[in-house]
Amino acid sequence: MRRWLNDERKPRNFWGTKQNVIDESKKYTTRSEFKEKSQSAYEVARKNNWLDDMTWLTNNDGRKPKGYWKIRENIMSEAMKYKTKGEFQEKSLTAFLAAYKYGYIDEMEWLVTRKHHKWGYWTYKTIEAEAMKYNTKTEFFNGSQTAYKAALKLGIIDDFFSFNNYVQ
C-alpha cells in the first residue's frame, strides 16, 4: 500500500503557501527527516529555495544550514552555552568567528573573566610573583598583560627575564 494513502490528505495547493511548509518543517530536526516524512512539503521548500530559511533543520551531516551563523539569535544562543571566550572558540569556532565578524562578541559580557586589581596593586613584589609563573616574556605578556605593562612602565621587566627574551 502506498504511504500517501495512510497520510492525512491536504487540500489542493496546501503546500503553495510558505507558512504551511514552514509549519510542517518545524516538526523535524534534520533535512533528511523532513524529506522522508513530508516529501511533498520538502520538495516545495527545495524548489522555492526555502530550506535555507529553515535554520532549525540541520543538514544531514549535522552541519548548520547556509546562513545559520548570520542570524544574531543563533550566535547568541550558541554563545550562552559557554563560560569563557576560550571555551566558546574551542567548542564552536564557526559561531565564535561569526560573533567577531558581526560585532556581537562585545555584547557577550558573560564570556569575559577579567581580574581587576586596585590602583597601585602592581608593585615590584607582586610583579615578580606573577612573572615567576612564566618562562619567557612572551608567556608573561600572554598570561598577564596588566602585570607585564606595569613591569614595562616601572622599567623592571629585564629583572625577571634575560635581555634576549623579547616578546615576539
Q: How confident is the model at residue 2 (pLDDT cuts 50, 70, 90)?
A: very low
Average pLDDT over all residues of the chain: 82
Task: Kindly state the DSSP code that residue 59 receives in the 8-state scheme.
Answer: P
| Residue 48 backbone phi and psi in degrees, to 5 | -95, 5
Q: Show me where the domains of the chain are located.
A: 1-66, 67-113, 115-168
Q: Give the pLDDT score at 145.
A: 84
* pTM for this entry: 0.40
Q: Are 151 and 157 in contact (CB under 8 A)?
A: yes
Distance (Å, whole) CA 126 – CA 113: 20
Nearest in space to 34 (alpha carbons), one of 48, 19, 23, 49: 23
Cα distances (angstroms) measured from residue 56 to each of 9, 19, 51, 80: 25, 15, 10, 17
